[in-house]
Amino acid sequence: MKILLKIAYDGRCYCGWQVQKNGISIQGELCRAAEETYHETVKVTGCSRTDSGVSAMEYFCTLETSENAPRIPLDRLPTALNVKLPGDITVFSAEEAAEDFHPRYSVKSKTYRYVIDNGEHRDPFRNGKAWHLGKPLDEKKMDRAAKAFVGKYDFAAFMASGSSVTDATRTVMRAEVTREGNDVIFTVSADGFLYNMVRIMTGTLADVAYGKIKEEEITDIIASKDRSRAGMTAPPDGLCLVKVLY
> In the annotation, is 51 catalytic?
yes
Angle 195-201-204 from CA coordinates, rounded to 5°: 130
**Active site residue: 51, 117, 143, 207, which one?**
51
Cα separation, 16 vs 49, whole angstroms? 7
Catalytic positions: 51
